[in-house]
């Protein structure tokens, strides 16, 4: 016979208002296994916990049931309480009578009846609990950062400064991300390059940081503290160790048709290229699709001109494996597809550009050397229209339902910078509303309106078309005067929605991290654990988690780094003892369990078993306790019932069901 104690919490009035806690206590006392039951205002408080500890000692309890809030909230708390009183922490069960009972019921009788049933189920289960001992696993003291934008860079530097090794895997030839493409940055209008390139250099020079640029994560196995990652270093056809970054090859290359990604395709580059002068690592990359050598087998001009002898057409992708204790996802964002909004003529007229393209047009290192010109004819524009929320806050189904958050600010920035540099240019901004919360942000926007006379018009643009003069006409409605607006202009800039980078879904799948319906990675708790993913050991940094500007990105990157450091500082992690295991005499070796395990925890061995006096070799499932997350998928897939889960055995679950159905 077990000696069970039941502790019913009022949670102030949260529970007590809809559940008659006295009646619950009386009801559970009738269970022959229950030797003690009581209720209290706040069980989780120190006084409440003391009640529990005292009762454990006084009544020599072998198990306890706490009827309170969700186990996600306080299971840990009460487990510690039990341990403190000398009771194994796995002899604790929580009956959730708050979220699953008092909060959803109005009628007190109904709520009370349900609370009693939930308590009985928990009692039935705890009677079958067995003391479990958590194991230990070693922590690999190295972190992996996926994505080398400002988010990844900042997280890397912070982790490295704390004394741990960090590897950055960046899929493009250089780190820096979008920030390296920007011109000036709000709210202080300092030059983006001037603040991001020193950080890139810091990464390159930091003894604890290794950069794998032009590389991708191929496969992730393992678990928190012990991830095993395969990384593919894509062939650059340039030996990184020899290339000095002199860029002679990039000038000599006769193939000039490559899309210059760094300049958003506003101009072209050679087949061998360095994205920009401050690229890190500063080495050339050959893009095989445009390279004449790969097309015709001839050319090789780059190789002939390279004094370092770095060109290597024979180079192959290289895959290597590395162990990590923690992984930070910092894959950032991309500009969403604006071709779905072709009423703005983006695909038809070169003078309709996205804001990121405008950043390049205004950047001193950009295709027009920082002189603002119309892409169509290279002439100076006299009038510019900005359209906000292109694809953001969309209800038409073509775009994104969310607010991209940064566009109001960067549009104000663009407007102001243009008015500052070219006072002759008229600037109009069409907006739904202007959202500029943040330190010094609203002041910034007001400066654009008040000091720089930017013409802000509330209203969405219906369409843009080419007029007889070859310019553009913008047709819109001014929602304040309620009048139709027809504006002739020279350029239209679309503040396009931002979306998570391509391939993030694949990354999320490999990490079994979750993403939301918009492909942003989700955090473990939106308020309390904003930089952790729900998967242990995986952290989030930057726009991959949600739209944000640089200040927010950098703060989040630092926060993620702290979490990583906190993890890497430990030598061992406690492992969850609630893992699956097979009964060898019952296992068929059928592979059903292995096919459903999301964590790849199950493998097979041929093993000699003794069953009913017969010794035979059988194929038997084996669970790797370190990989098993205790999800229980295998136990329900197993036809013979050979697979069972410690702490949630088939018997325990059936006992709960029986108790509920009684």
Partner 1 sequence: MQEITGLMVKRAKELLEAGEVQRVIGWTTGDFCYDVTPAVFTKAEDLEEGKFVYNSFCGSNLSKYLIQTLRNDINAVNTAKAMAARKGENPDDIPGPGKTLVFLKPCDTYSFNQLLTEHRIDKSLVYVIGVACRGMADIEKIKLMGASGITKVIDAGDKLEVKTIYGDKSFDKKDVLLEKCACCKGKEHKYADEVIDPEPLPEGEGKGPMDRMAGVTMLEEMTAEERYAFWNDQLSRCIKCYACRNACPACTCMKCVFDNPRSGVDSKANVTEFEEKMYHIIRAFHVAGRCTDCGECSRVCPQGIPLHLLNRKFIKDINEFYGDYQAGEAEGQRAPLVNFDAENDVEPSIVNEKGGN
Ligand X SMILES: Cc1cc2nc3c(=O)[nH]c(=O)nc-3n(C[C@H](O)[C@H](O)[C@H](O)COP(=O)(O)OP(=O)(O)OC[C@H]3O[C@@H](n4cnc5c(N)ncnc54)[C@H](O)[C@@H]3O)c2cc1C
Which residues in 353-412 contact partner 1 (CB under 8 A)?
401
Tell me the closest approach of the beta carbon of residue 112 to partner 1, in angstroms: 29
Q: Which long-range contacts (CB under 8 A, 24 or more apart) does 46-53 make?
A: 48/7, 48/9, 49/77, 49/78, 49/81, 49/84, 51/7, 52/5, 52/7, 52/78, 52/81, 52/82, 52/85, 53/81, 53/84, 53/85
> Are 336 and 500 in contact, with CB atoms under 8 Å apart?
no
| Phi, psi (degrees; rounded to nearest 5) at 189 | 60, 30
Q: Draw the binding track, 561-590, toward ligand SF4 (x: CB under 6 A; -: no contact).
A: ------------------xx-x----xxxx
Q: Which stretch binds partner 1 (CB under 8 A): 106-114, 233-241, 573-581, 635-643?
A: 635-643
630 binds ligand SF4 (CB under 6 A): yes
Q: Which is nearer to ligand X, 297 or 437 (CB)?
A: 437
Q: Which is nearer to ligand SF4, 449 or 631 (CB)?
A: 631
621 binds, among ligand SF4, ligand X, partner 1, none (CB under 5 to 8 A by kind): ligand SF4
617 binds, among partner 1, ligand X, ligand SF4, none (CB under 5 to 8 A by kind): partner 1
> Are 427 and 307 in contact, with CB atoms under 8 Å apart?
no
Structure tokens at 242: 């020899």
Round to whole Å and give the CA distance between 414 and 359.
8
What H or E segment, with its residue span, contains residue 215? strand 215-223
> Are 561 and 162 in contact, with CB atoms under 8 Å apart?
yes
Binding site residues, ligand X, CB under 6 A:
146-152, 169-172, 177-179, 182, 185-186, 216, 330-333, 355-356, 359, 406, 410, 413, 498, 501, 503, 507, 542-543, 548-551, 553
Nearest residue to ligand X by CB is: 149
CB atoms within 10 A of CB 394: 17
Tell me the closest approach of the beta carbon of residue 625 to ligand SF4, in angstroms: 9
- Among the listed residues 14, 26, 12, 40, the one whose alpha carbon sits nearest the alpha carbon of residue 105: 14
Q: Which is nearer to ligand SF4, 195 or 609 (CB)?
A: 609
Options 476, 508, 564, 568; binder of partner 1; rule CB under 8 A: 508
Tell me the closest approach of the beta carbon of residue 578 to ligand X, in angstroms: 33
Tokens 């003291």 belong to 141
Options 506, 555, 566, 570; binder of partner 1; rule CB under 8 A: 506
Options 587, 623, 643, 659; binder of partner 1; rule CB under 8 A: 587
Options 27, 143, 487, 593; binder of ligand SF4; rule CB under 6 A: 593
Options 151, 550, 621, 626; binder of ligand SF4; rule CB under 6 A: 621
End-to-end CA distance of the chain: 20
Q: Which stretch binds partner 1 (CB under 8 A): 159-167, 242-250, 479-487, 595-603?
A: 595-603
Q: Which is nearer to ligand X, 448 or 621 (CB)?
A: 448
Structure tokens at 239: 């030996």
Round to whole Å and give the CA distance between 157 and 209.
8
What H or E segment, with its residue span, contains residue 116? helix 108-126
Q: How is the beta sheet containing 538-540 ordered, strand by strand?
A: 209-212, 165-169, 142-146, 326-329, 538-540
Round to whole Å and give the CA distance between 354 and 296.
36
**Which positions touch ligand SF4 (CB under 6 A)?**
579-580, 582, 587-593, 596-597, 599, 601-602, 621, 623, 628-634, 637-638, 640, 642-643, 645
**Which positions touch partner 1 (CB under 8 A)?**
401, 505-506, 508-510, 512-519, 522, 534-535, 585-592, 595-598, 604, 611, 614-619, 631, 633, 637, 639-642, 651, 654
């Amino acid at each position: 016979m077990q000696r069970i104690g039941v502790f019913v919490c009022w949670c102030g009035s949260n529970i007590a208002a809809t559940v008659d806690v006295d009646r619950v206590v009386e009801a559970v006392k009738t269970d022959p296994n229950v030797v003690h039951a009581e209720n209290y205002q706040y069980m989780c408080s120190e006084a409440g916990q003391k009640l529990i500890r005292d009762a454990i000692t006084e009544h020599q309890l072998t198990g306890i049931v706490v009827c309170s809030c969700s186990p996600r909230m306080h299971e840990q708390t009460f487990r510690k309480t039990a341990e403190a009183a000398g009771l194994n922490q796995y002899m604790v069960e929580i009956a959730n009578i708050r979220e699953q009972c008092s909060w959803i019921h109005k009628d007190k009788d109904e709520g009370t009846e349900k609370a009693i049933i939930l308590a009985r189920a928990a009692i039935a289960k705890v009677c079958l609990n067995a003391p479990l001992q958590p194991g230990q696993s070693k922590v690999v003291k190295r972190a992996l950062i996926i994505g080398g934008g400002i988010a990844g860079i900042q997280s890397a530097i912070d982790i490295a400064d704390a004394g741990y090794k960090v590897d950055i895997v960046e899929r493009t030839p250089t780190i820096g991300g979008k920030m390296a493409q920007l011109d000036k940055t709000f709210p202080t209008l300092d030059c983006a390059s001037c603040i991001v390139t020193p950080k890139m250099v810091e990464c390159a020079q930091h003894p604890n940081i290794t950069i794998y640029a032009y590389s991708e994560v191929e496969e992730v196995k393992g678990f928190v503290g012990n991830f095993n990652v395969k990384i593919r270093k894509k062939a650059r056809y340039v030996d990184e160790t020899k290339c000095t970054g002199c860029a002679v090859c990039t000038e000599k290359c006769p193939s000039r048709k490559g899309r210059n990604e760094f300049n958003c395709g506003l101009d072209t580059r050679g087949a061998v290229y360095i994205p920009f002068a401050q690229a890190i690592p500063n080495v050339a990359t050959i893009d095989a699709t445009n390279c004449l050598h790969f097309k015709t087998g001839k050319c090789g001009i780059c190789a002939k001109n390279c004094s370092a002898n770095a060109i290597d057409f024979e180079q192959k992708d290289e895959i290597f494996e590395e162990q990590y204790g923690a992984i930070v996802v910092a894959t950032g964002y991309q500009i969403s597809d604006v071709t779905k909004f072709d009423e703005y003529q983006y695909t038809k007229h070169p003078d309709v550009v996205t804001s990121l393209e405008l950043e390049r047009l205004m950047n001193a290192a950009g295709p027009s050397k920082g002189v603002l010109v119309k892409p169509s004819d290279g002439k100076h524009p006299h009038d510019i229209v900005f359209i906000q929320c292109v694809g953001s806050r969309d209800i038409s189904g073509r775009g994104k339902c969310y607010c991209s958050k940064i566009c109001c600010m960067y549009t104000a920035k663009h407007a102001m910078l243009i008015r500052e540099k070219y006072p002759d240019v008229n600037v109009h901004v069409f907006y739904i509303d202007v959202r500029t919360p943040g330190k010094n942000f609203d002041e910034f926007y007001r400066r654009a309106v008040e000091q720089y006379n930017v013409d802000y018009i509330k209203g969405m643009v219906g369409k843009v078309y080419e007029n007889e003069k070859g310019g553009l006409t913008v047709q819109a409605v001014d929602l304040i005067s309620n009048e139709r607006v027809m504006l002739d202009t020279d350029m239209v800039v679309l503040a396009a929605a931002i979306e998570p980078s391509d391939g993030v879904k694949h990354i999320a799948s490999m990490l079994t991290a979750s993403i939301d319906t918009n492909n942003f990675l989700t955090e473990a708790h939106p308020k309390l654990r904003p930089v952790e993913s729900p998967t242990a050991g995986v952290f989030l940094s930057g726009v991959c988690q949600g739209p944000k500007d640089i200040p927010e990105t950098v703060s989040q990157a630092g926060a993620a780094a702290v979490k990583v450091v906190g993890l890497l500082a430990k030598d061992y992690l406690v492992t969850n003892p609630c893992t699956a295991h097979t009964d060898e005499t019952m296992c068929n070796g059928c592979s059903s369990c292995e096919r459903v395990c999301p964590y790849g925890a199950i493998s097979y061995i041929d093993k000699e078993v003794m069953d009913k006096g017969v010794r035979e070799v059988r194929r038997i499932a084996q669970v790797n306790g370190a990989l098993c997350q205790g999800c229980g998928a295998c136990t329900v897939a197993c036809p013979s019932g050979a697979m069972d889960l410690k702490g949630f055995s088939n018997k325990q679950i059936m006992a709960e069901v029986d108790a509920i159905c009684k």
